[in-house]
Structure formats: C-alpha cells, structure tokens
Amino acid sequence: MPLILISNDDGITAKGIQSLIESMRPLGSVIVVAPDSPRSAQSSALTVTTPLRVKKIHEEEGLVQYICNGTPSDCVKLALNQLCPRKPDIVVAGINHGTNSSISVIYSGTIGATIEGCVNGIPSIGFSLCNFDPRADFSTAMIYAQRITKKIVQEGLPKGICLNVNIPDLKTIKGIKICRQSEGYWSEEFIKREDPYGKHYYWLTGEFINAEKLNDDTDEWALENGYISIVPVKVDMTAYEYINDLKKLDYEQE
C-alpha cells in the first residue's frame, strides 16, 4: 500500500483538501498534515520565530490527520521528520481553491508544500482548481487528481522535479497538456485605504496579465482552452543558459 502525504495552503477546513483526501484514499494509506488556518501565498516560507504546534485531529484505518500552526512547507517538513511512520511514496498538495499557473508558482503555498516533498526526494504533485470559491465543485478535479497521482506513484518522477497541475473549472475537460510556465505578472497590485484613525493601509490585489497569449505550449493557454495543465517544476533555479555570458563580465574593471 503506498503511503500518501497530503498538505495544502487553504487549511484543513477547506473543501479542496477534503476532496483530495477522498480521492486519494482508494490509492493507499493517507496521512494529512495541514495548516490549521488559511496560509495562501506563503510560497516556501518557514516558521523560525515562533514554535510549531501539532495536533492529531483524526485517526482511522488508512487515514491520520494532523493540523499544524505553520506554513505548508513547515507541515511537510514536520510530517517527514516527525509524523510519518516511514518515508511517503508520494506527496500531494491541494486541491487549491484557485489557479496556480504561470508566475503563481513562485508565491503559492500549495507549490511550497509540493517543492518541500520534492526537495526531500519524494515524487510530489500540487493540484489547483481554477475557482477561488470556498464552495467550488471539485468533483471533476478529484477524478483527475486521482488518475494523475496513480500514474506518478507507478512511474515516479526524476530527482529535483515535481508537478504543478492546474485544473480548469469545467464539467468536461478536453484532456491533459504538458506545458511550460507561461510568462506573466500581476498589475496594479494595491488598494490604498484610510482606517478610522486617519492612517493609510494597503491591500494586495490586482489583475494577472498573461504576457504570451498566443503561445499554445504554456499552462495559461491550456487552461484557457479547456485543458488541464501539467508543468514539471525544478527546484534547481539556476539559469544555466546565462552562466557563460555572466562569466565574461569583469567585476574588477570600472
């Protein structure tokens, strides 16, 4: 029986993680270590200034659930180091409420948890549904999450590579596309308001701009056209193609 570690960034009460648990149970023994509250946009952040607390909240045959006051990456680290009976066969994160395509891979706590599994040498997959609603319908996403996870448990993944899977919010999916991360960015990102005491504060907001609308090999294109996108993500962020040019710069010269 495969051992499946599940985490997320929307927290234990999210419908997305409950859906993921349900879809993983037929595949193996499930251990859940999830944040006790929403931890969206936590990237690979770690908690270093406050102690971490863990609580077992559920245990039955084939399913153990813990909550933790840390980030998604903390959850996976704690799971692997303290809570799992053995090294899991796979780490799955999500299903996130909302898209994690393109540049969101940098900020997403779902992907943070996924990367953490990968850094520890475990095949790891982050799943996201393109719908931010807390009541979103995960039924189609669950089918594909199960199918993709089953395949990766069988096939494995190369060292240092994990998968970022985004699922369009559709009843009928056209299929699965293997993609690259689309270029994109967020524009007009802050709302400035005045509090009742006359002081300003800011809320992060904004609109995602897909910088390459026409390229059909990107995750954004796949999602906009009704396909699930799978982007293989590397933890080695080195820009190898630029190393030689960078060597030519003379830093001693004025």
* Residue 167 sits in the site that holds a second copy (CB under 8 A): no
Smaller CB separation from a second copy, 3 or 46 = 46
Smaller CB separation from a second copy, 8 or 42 = 42
* Total Cβ atoms within 10 A of residue 135: 8
Interaction pattern, residues 126-155, with a second copy; x per rule: CB under 8 A: ------------------x--xx-xx---x
Smaller CB separation from a second copy, 61 or 196 = 196
In this structure, what is the dihedral angle of CA atoms 72, 232, 217, 224, given to the nearest 10 degrees?
Answer: -30
- CB of 24 vs a second copy, minimal distance in Å: 16
| The one among 60, 61, 188, 207 contacting a second copy by CB under 8 A | 188
Smaller CB separation from a second copy, 61 or 86 = 86
Give the whole-angstrom CA distance, residue 85 versus residue 224: 41
| Positive/negative CA dihedral, 42, 43, 49, 50 | positive
Closest-CA residue to 14 (of 30, 31, 43, 37) = 37
Q: Which of residues 71-130 bind a second copy (CB under 8 A)?
A: 71, 73-74, 77-78, 81-82, 103, 105-107, 112, 115, 119-120
* Planar angle of CA 49, 50, 51, nearest 5 degrees: 130
Report the SS3 class of residue 248. Answer: helix
* Planar angle of CA 182, 184, 185, nearest 5 degrees: 155
Q: Which of residues 29-68 bind a second copy (CB under 8 A)?
A: 38, 40-49, 51-54
State residue 249 phi and psi, 5-degree precision.
Answer: -70, 135
Report the SS3 class of residue 247. Answer: helix
Q: Which of residues 204-243 bind a second copy (CB under 8 A)?
A: 204, 230-240, 242-243
| The one among 169, 176, 212, 215 contacting a second copy by CB under 8 A | 176
Smaller CB separation from a second copy, 61 or 246 = 246
Smaller CB separation from a second copy, 59 or 201 = 201
- CB of 213 vs a second copy, minimal distance in Å: 17
Closest-CA residue to 23 (of 106, 147, 137) = 147
| The one among 185, 213, 216, 226 contacting a second copy by CB under 8 A | 185
